[in-house]
Amino acid sequence: MKISPHARRSTVTRNAIGVGLATGVYGISFGALAVTSGFSFAQTQVLSLGLFSGASQFAVVGIFGAGGGAIAAIATSSLLGVRNGLYALSLASVLNLKGIKKIFASQITIDESTAMAIANNDDEEMSRWAFWATGISVFVFWNIATAIGAFGASFVADPKSLGLDAAVGAAFLALLWPRLINKQIRIVGILAGLLAIGLTPLVQPGIPVLACVLIAIFMGLKNASDK
Amino acid sequence: MEARWVAVIASSVIAFILKFSGNVVPARYLEQPKIKSITSLVPIVMLSALVVVQTFAVGQDLVIDARLAGLVFAIILLLIRAPFIVVVFGAAACAALLRYFGLTN
């Protein structure tokens, strides 16, 4: 059965709103964790508006929460953000952007919008629609949810009594989990965890996480030369 | 300027430059097998390291406290395919309960 373009477009739109709502809900946890890590309401909201990439945002607040400084936070956030640049690169031919649209599209080039665009890549127009609808939907819901979480957490006197410090590690694990798709990746993940633990007593907070990039470089070069 | 503002603004600007560069840089620079192979592993190592640091570190000290119980509970929730928000707040609730009953720090 052939689905009409109109019907397909509304299905894609509905899915985009669903993805936006789902990710938005975890924006609540980001807002709450940022405020309990000492970020102001304004700083928290600027992260969601400007940085707009979940893992990088959690990294910035997590590193400050653990006693790290600005340099470690910026470096970790940026390394996590490299993949968004690669997403933009792989979508460039489909999106075919001109002028100011390039700027807006760049801001909403994230895991979710890229995944939805690729899921519909049998039809270029639908792929573009999926990208924009998902990106805008996630942006709107993520920012509203951040505000709700940040506002709610500003009434919490002792974040530890609510276990919010335990929530940060769980959030990173939940972001990592779907990426552990094969044995080598799981081993790389375990090695990174061990290196980070080993370095923690030896160097400034924030540096152990950055040092783990060396594992990615080493294994990445090895994989490329094995092919 | 306060360190948190510096981090917020600088990381936002760099994130945008990274996203934007994908739209303007010729593909051949980034599509080399070595670069692709490394960048695909970067999120894995960083997220893994962040998990353990957030669970065991207090500054430069390693400690075992309610956060570890929260993480174990998070793993159980992930194994039964709980959604993100349930995993995050489930881990928090687990740690909060242990502390409330004075079972851990």
Give chain A positions within 8 Å (CB) of B49.
192-193, 195-196, 208-209, 212
Encoding tokens for residue B58? 């207090």
Is residue A153 domain-shared with residue A190, that is, in the same domain? Answer: no
Ramachandran assignment for A56, one of left (phi > 0), alpha (psi -120 to 50 degrees), beta (any other): alpha
pLDDT digits (tens, 9 = 90+) for A13-69: 988 998 888 787 778 889 999 998 999 999 999 999 999 998 999 999 999 988 889
Is residue A127 domain-shared with residue A25, that is, in the same domain? Answer: yes
Encoding tokens for residue A57? 């945002």
Is residue A95 domain-shared with residue A204, that is, in the same domain? Answer: no
pLDDT of A113 higher than 70: yes
Is residue A173 domain-shared with residue A200, that is, in the same domain? Answer: no
What is the Cα B13 distance to its own chain's centre?
A: 20
Ramachandran assignment for B25, one of left (phi > 0), alpha (psi -120 to 50 degrees), beta (any other): beta
Is residue A135 domain-shared with residue A220, that is, in the same domain? Answer: no
> How far apart, in Å, are the Cα atoms of A166 and each of A65, A69, A73, B73, B90?
12, 20, 19, 10, 9
pLDDT digits (tens, 9 = 90+) for A166-183: 988 998 899 899 889 999
Is residue A39 domain-shared with residue A128, that is, in the same domain? Answer: yes
Is residue A86 domain-shared with residue A174, that is, in the same domain? Answer: yes
Is residue A47 domain-shared with residue A130, that is, in the same domain? Answer: yes
Name the burial class of residue A102, with classes exposed (0-12), middle (13-18) and buried (19+) by CB atoms within 10 angstroms of its CB: middle
Q: What's the CA gap between A196 and B48, in Å, rounded?
A: 9
> How far apart, in Å, are the Cα atoms of A9 and each of A4, A13, A117, A130, B25?
9, 6, 12, 8, 31
Over residues A76-96, the mean pLDDT reads 88
pLDDT of B27 higher than 80: no
Is residue A220 domain-shared with residue A137, that is, in the same domain? Answer: no
pLDDT digits (tens, 9 = 90+) for A132-146: 999 999 999 999 999
Give chain A positions within 8 Å (CB) of B79.
none
Q: Which of B24, B25, B28, B52 to mutate to test the interface with A (most CBs of A within 10 A)?
A: B52
Among A46-60, A83-97, B26-40, the minimum mean pLDDT is found in B26-40
B1 DSSP β-pair partners? none
Rounded to two decimals, the pTM is 0.82
End-to-end alpha carbon distance in chain B: 35
Q: Which of B36, B51, B55, B76 to mutate to test the interface with A (most CBs of A within 10 A)?
A: B51
**CB-CB: which of A29, A89, A169 is closest to B70?**
A169
Is residue A38 domain-shared with residue A115, that is, in the same domain? Answer: yes
Is residue A89 domain-shared with residue A18, that is, in the same domain? Answer: yes
The per-residue pLDDT for B26 is 75
Q: What's the CA gap between A227 and B25, in Å, rounded?
A: 26
Is residue A115 domain-shared with residue A203, that is, in the same domain? Answer: no
User: B51-71 burial string, b = 16+ CB within 10 Å, else e?
Assistant: bbbbbbbeeeeeeebbbbbbb
Amino acid sitting at position A202: L
Residue B42, min C-alpha distance to chain A (Å) = 5
Range of the domain at A214: 180-227
Farthest CA pair distance, chain A = 63
Q: What's the CA gap between A104 and A139, in Å, rounded?
A: 11
* Number of domain units in chain A: 2
